[in-house]
Homo-oligomer: A and B are copies of this chain.
Amino acid sequence: MTDTADFEPTPEGWLTEAELSAVRTRLPILYVDAVPVRVDESGDVIAVGLLLRVNGVGEMTRALVSGRVMYHERVRDALLRHLEKDLGPVALPQIPAAPQPFTVAEYLPTPGITPYHDPRQHAVALAYVVPVAGDCEPQQDALELTWLTPEEACAEHVQREMTDGHAYLLRQAMAHVGRMA
């Protein structure tokens, strides 16, 4: 899990990075995870967007859109903020009308308890499949946004380039939309 959109000047009442570090080992932190997709006019998923980054040890990694929900921020606004931060201002994400996520991903610092893992913290992510209709441009630390077919995105060599949690969540998302490989 990589926070990609929390580096803006901290508004009043939000946590500083130092304070955030302190609570990260004391409280579950609320996240949103989004699987960006292209759909056809019947809503069928035809492609999945994965962010390509270079991690701290120089490896290529692929990731979903993911980030923290801020204090006093609605879940739907957090979703929009993270999608625009990662995919650019004209991605035109179609934020779901209903807050019901397709699943809840529980990233625990201890591996093996759930299928998700985050060594830094206990994060609980509300997960959504989000169609994006506009032009996407990777922002910030992402090198590229790659559109893969659902089958390609679930292929083993692609899954290996994702953290275990995101690889698992992506396959759950494809199961949910009926496009699991």
Contacts and interface: CB of A to CB of B under 8 A. Distances in A.
A171 to B, nearest CB: 6
24 contacts: A13-B26, A15-B23, A19-B26, A27-B27, A28-B73, A37-B97, A39-B97, A42-B79, A43-B94, A44-B76, A74-B114, A75-B104, A94-B131, A97-B129, A98-B177, A99-B106, A99-B177, A99-B178, A100-B103, A101-B104, A115-B180, A172-B175, A172-B176, A172-B178
Copies of this chain: 4
Contact of A43 (B13, B97, B171): B97
Contact of A98 (B25, B80, B178): B178
A15 B27 contact: yes
A30 to B, nearest CB: 5
A139 B177 CA distance: 30
Given A23-B27, A175-B176, 17 more contacts: A13-B26, A20-B27, A27-B71, A28-B73, A30-B30, A42-B77, A43-B96, A74-B108, A94-B131, A98-B129, A99-B177, A100-B104, A100-B176, A115-B178, A115-B180, A171-B175, A172-B176
- Chain A interface mostly: loop
A43 B74 CA distance: 11
Interface string A164-177: 00001001100111
Interface of A: 13-15, 19-20, 23, 25-30, 37, 39, 41-45, 69-77, 79-80, 94-104, 106, 108-110, 113-115, 122, 124, 126, 129, 131, 168, 171-172, 175-178, 180
